[in-house]
């Protein structure tokens, strides 16, 4: 399995749902700061992409467990339902150039998980709460009105949430499609988990906020975009997609010196310390859980997430799961090969589940 330059050069890569600190020069420039050369300018985008994002969604909010959640919808209520769930530190607009390709045949929704996008932050985050949030969004979007339960599609950390919901609430979904899911890092009480925690304590992690260190505010959007990179690190295959995502990852925030407003990232910087993994760990503690929901997995053939599984890292996915590899793609398939992802999803939904 060929991997990205960030992996080939021995740089730290971390796990799919946690940030890592890298010193300047530890990653190739195209990985460390893919948008910096544009100095705030939008990269040129092909017509298909422009046409897709021009089909703007309806934007609303849904309240779940006392938290306001961002919800984007396309298509007519009464058609079969599709719910897209993004990865960690991401947001609903990661699907805004994918979802329109399904809007003629489906009622489509994309949600921002609690603590991300324009959704409210919480004191704690838990897998069981994310499952209830997804159900609340599916109900509010009318995804059940097409005469069958919706199909959930989740990328990365969002795919872990879809897996958890599918295992615990098979009555809520027609099928589940995971997109390049590796189920995060090692358990915190495992030897590798303890080693990672100790390394983090011993080093200064300047660009990862903590409860006693605020999230950085950038003076202008060009400066903020220059700091954008993917997690786990990889080359951004299509820079016009990366730029679209990055701009919608930012919000206005007061500058530290009080001189005005700048730009900061929209996700809760303390997500990783607030996340309660106990429900997922309990689900998989005895090995692979029984999953009755039809489940498929689409992955990138250069994904570091998949390379860890190939090196015998345990996976809770069913042994007989249907898997589809997307050629020439790393972990973030919707950035590397967006049209191939659309084609794979369309083909899958046309014939599966039988």
Tell me, yes or no, whether 83 and 28 share the same domain: no
Q: Give the domain-ending residue among 222, 251, 269.
A: 269
- Domain extent at residue 231: 5-43+207-269
Query: Are both 265 and 286 inside the same structural domain?
Result: no
For 85-127, how does the pLDDT look when each residue is reduced to its tens digit (9 = 90+)?
999 999 999 999 999 999 999 999 999 999 999 999 999 999 9
Would you state the pLDDT for residue 185? 58
Nearest to 303 by CA among 336, 280, 348: 336
pLDDT of residue 203: 43
Same-domain status, 76 and 139: yes
* Assigned domain for 49 exists: no
Segment 247-259 shows an average pLDDT of 94
Average confidence (pLDDT) over 221-230: 96
Report if residue 198 sits inside a domain: no
What's the CATH code of the domain at 288?
3.40.50.1820
For position 4, what pLDDT does the model report?
73
Asked if the structure places residue 231 within a domain, the reply is: yes
Same domain, 173 and 298: yes
Q: From CA 103, how far away is CA 76, in angstroms rounded?
A: 8
On whether both 129 and 222 belong to a single domain, the answer is no
pLDDT in tens, 139-170: 999 999 999 999 999 999 999 999 999 999 99
Number of domains into which the chain is organized = 2
Residues 163 and 289 in one domain: yes
Q: Which residue has the higher pLDDT, 3 or 119?
A: 119
Same domain, 60 and 175: yes
pTM to 2 decimal places:
0.92
Whether 157 and 221 map to the same domain: the answer is no
Same domain for 39 and 170, yes or no, is no
Are 263 and 286 in the same domain? Answer: no
Same domain flag for 100 and 216: no
pLDDT surpassing 60 at residue 200: no
Query: 3-state secondary structure string, the chain?
Result: CCCCHHHHCCCCCCCCCCCCCCCCCCCCHHHHCCCHHHCCCCCCCCHHHHHHHHCCCEEEEEEECCEEEEEEEECCECECEEEEECCCCCCHHHHCCCHHHHCCCCEEEEECCCCCCCCCCCCCEEHHHHHHHHHHHHHHCCCCCCCCCCEEEEECHHHHHHHHHHHHCHHHCCEEEEECCCCCCCCCCCHHHHHHHHHHHHCCCCCCCECCECCCCECCHHHHHCCCCCCCCCCCCCHHHHHHHHHCCEEEEECCCCCCEEEEECCCCCHHHHEECHHHHHHHCCCCCCCCCCEEEEEECCCHHHHHHHCCCCCCCCCCCEEEEECCCCCCHHHHCHHHHHHHHHHHHHHCCC
Q: Evaluate whether residue 173 is within a structural domain.
A: yes
The overall average pLDDT reported for the chain is 89
- Residue 165: its pLDDT value, please? 98
Residues 253 and 156 in one domain: no
């Amino acid at each position: 399995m060929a991997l990205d330059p960030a992996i080939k050069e021995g740089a730290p890569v971390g796990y799919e749902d946690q940030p890592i600190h890298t010193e300047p020069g530890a990653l190739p420039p195209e990985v460390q700061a893919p948008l910096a050369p544009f100095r705030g300018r939008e990269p040129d985008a092909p017509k298909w992409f422009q046409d897709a994002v021009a089909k703007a969604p309806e934007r609303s909010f849904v309240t779940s467990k006392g938290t306001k959640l961002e919800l984007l919808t396309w298509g007519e209520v009464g058609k079969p339902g599709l719910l897209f769930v993004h990865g960690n530190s991401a947001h609903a607009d990661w699907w805004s150039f994918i979802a329109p390709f399904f809007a003629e045949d489906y009622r489509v929704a994309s949600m921002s998980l609690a603590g991300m996008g324009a959704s409210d932050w919480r004191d704690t985050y838990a897998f069981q709460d994310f499952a209830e949030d997804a159900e609340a969004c599916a109900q509010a979007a009318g995804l059940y009105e097409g005469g069958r339960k919706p199909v959930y599609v989740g990328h990365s950390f969002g795919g872990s949430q879809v897996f958890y919901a599918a295992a615990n609430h098979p009555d809520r979904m027609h099928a589940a499609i995971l997109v390049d899911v590796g189920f995060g890092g090692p358990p915190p009480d495992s030897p590798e988990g303890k080693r990672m925690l100790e390394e983090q304590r011993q080093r200064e992690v300047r660009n990862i906020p903590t409860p006693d260190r605020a999230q950085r505010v950038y003076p202008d959007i060009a400066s903020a975009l220059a700091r954008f990179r993917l997690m786990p690190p990889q080359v951004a295959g299509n820079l016009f997609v990366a730029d679209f995502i990055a701009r919608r990852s930012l919000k206005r925030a007061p500058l530290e010196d009080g001189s005005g407003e700048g730009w900061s990232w929209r996700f809760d910087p303390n997500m990783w310390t607030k996340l309660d993994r106990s429900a997922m760990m309990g689900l998989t503690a005895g090995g692979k859980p029984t999953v009755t929901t039809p489940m498929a997995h689409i992955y990138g053939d250069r994904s570091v997430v998949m390379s860890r599984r190939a090196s015998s890292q345990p996976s809770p996915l069913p042994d007989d799961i249907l898997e589809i590899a997307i050629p020439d793609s790393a972990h973030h398939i919707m950035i590397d090969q967006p049209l191939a992802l659309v084609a794979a999803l369309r083909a899958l939904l046309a014939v599966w589940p039988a």
